Amino acid sequence: MAPADKTPVVKTSGSVAAFLNKVAATPAVSTGARGKLVFAMDATASRGPSWAQAMAIQSDMFREAATVGALDVQLAYYRGAMEFGASPWLVDAAAVVKLMQSVSVLGGQTQILRVLRHTAEEARRGKVNALVFIGDALEEESDALIAAAGELALRGVPAFIFHEGGGEPAGATFRRIATLTKGAYCPFNANSARELRDLLTAVAVFAAGGRKALTHYGTRTGGAALLLTQRLDKS
């Protein structure tokens, strides 16, 4: 297990509030191909109290990311009695938002292993630039998840884990997944909505324009965006 003090943790900060404005004002960096982002959501009942806020934040993310560069998004979610869904690859931000907002919460167990295995399978078919996972709980065996994360690492897919509540023991496993895949772990709560939106958009910038695009924005804005770029530059 990686030492806790070396785990890539991105802490939210008000200093990134201007990040989206600078993104919108700066020309996109062309990579010659569209980026691909798997965006996975825990839609179980425990997230019910924060679901409406999460939908608003994530909708803003996709709308803003559409101004930055070419990004294909695949939405994935789990809920209920082992229900797991994944969309086709979507190229239109409005379609992504509409589909995402059609998902509602339903009681059930976590299926993070399916998220990781599904993303790995997509990466076998073609390049996937990043996985974003948003969830609050973990009810699965840690060792199986770490093994599945290893497949993502082999295929060069960084996992960005946004952990609602930031509690343990889930946090320890989420940090290990982020470390292994050279992604990042970000705990958040109801008071960090704006910063969460900015960081989610930073990941979308990375997926759409690559490290150079994100590094450019991060060095200009500082704060959590800069911390994210520094973590990726070391990978």
Kindly list the domain boundaries of the chain, sorted by start residue: 11-233
- The pLDDT, as a whole number, for residue 222 is 64
Identify the pLDDT of residue 173: 97
pLDDT at residue 29 tops 60: no
Pair of tokens at residue 214: 């994100």
For the chain, what percent of residues have pLDDT higher than 70? Answer: 75
CB atoms within 10 A of CB 195: 23
Percent of the chain with pLDDT over 90: 41
Report whether pLDDT(80) > 70. yes
Contact 186, 163 (CB under 8 A): yes
CA angle, corner 122, sides to 118 and 127, nearest 5? 140
Contact criterion met (CB below 8 Å) for 107 and 130: no
Given a cut of 50, is residue 15 above it in pLDDT? no
Helix (H) or strand (E) holding 144: helix 142-154
Contact in structure between 187 and 205 (CB atoms under 8 Å): no
Position 151: which residue type?
Answer: E
Give the pLDDT of residue 43.
93
* Residue range 26-46: mean pLDDT, rounded: 73
CA distance 126 to 149: 17
Average the pLDDT over 154-175 and give the result: 93
Alpha carbon of 195 to those of 11, 18, 31, 49, 230: distances in Å?
Answer: 9, 10, 27, 19, 18
State the fold for domain 11-233: Rossmann fold (3.40.50)
Label residue 138 by pLDDT band (50, 70, 90).
very high
- pLDDT band of residue 94 (cuts 50, 70, 90) is confident
